[in-house]
Structure 1
Amino acid sequence: MTERKSWAEQRAEVLGRPGAGAAYEAAKLRFELGMAVRNRRLALGLTQRQLAEAAGLQQSAVARFEAGGTMPTLAMLERYAQALELRLTVEFQPLEQAS
């Protein structure tokens, strides 16, 4: 019988596989972008349907995005920013400064 691995050990093993780190970072970015949109939408008191209408989208597309299920294009982020009364800013940061 083999010994069970901790979550940290299992995570390290999976992230050690070729390409896994990049996939993990992409998923993290999708999640963080979705959370930022959701938090702003809630701060403005908007429903997903209202945000979707303002951005010219379907409510289901907003739900998927907020859940981290899709990677938006810059054009899509601009639509969200405008609908959320925000200015989209894209910048490059040195890796040691990125979180």
Structure 2
Amino acid sequence: MKKIVPLLLTAGMTQKELARQAHTSQAAISRLESGTYRNVSLAFLRRVRAVLGVKPHVSFQ
């Protein structure tokens, strides 16, 4: 999830702006960035993906 930081920088966005456009909170974006977001939904990832214009990559550990 830490790959969001470079995506935000490339897009010239802040966490707050991404959150606004993805219809979520800045805290949720921060948790996603840090990898501490538990039970993240596919709907949430789709909204973030749509704003950033990227494809998500999900893996299991």
TM-score for the superposition, normalised by structure 2: 0.77
Distance 1:64 1:89, change over 3 A: closer
CA distance in 2, matches of 1:75, 1:53: 15
Match of 1:75 among 37, 43, 47: 43
Higher RCO structure, 1 or 2 (CA under 8 Å, sep 6+): 2
Q: How many residues align?
A: 58
Runs of at least 4 residues of structure 1 off by over 3 A?
A: 87-91
Counting only pairs closer than 5 Å after superposition, residues 33-44 of structure 1 correspond to structure 2 as 33=1, 35-44=2-11
Matched position secondary structure for 1:56: coil
Matched position secondary structure for 2:35: coil
CA distance in 2, matches of 1:87, 1:51: 16
* AA in 1 matched with 2:21: A
TM-score for the superposition, normalised by structure 1: 0.51
* AA in 2 matched with 1:75: A
Q: Match for residue 85 of structure 1?
A: 53
Stretches of structure 1 lacking an aligned partner (at least 5 in a row)? 1-32, 92-99
- Larger radius of gyration, structure 1 or 2? 1
Between the two proteins, what is the percent identity of the paired residues?
31
Counting only pairs closer than 5 Å after superposition, residues 16-95 of structure 1 correspond to structure 2 as 33=1, 35-71=2-38, 72-88=40-56
CA distance in 2, matches of 1:90, 1:62: 16
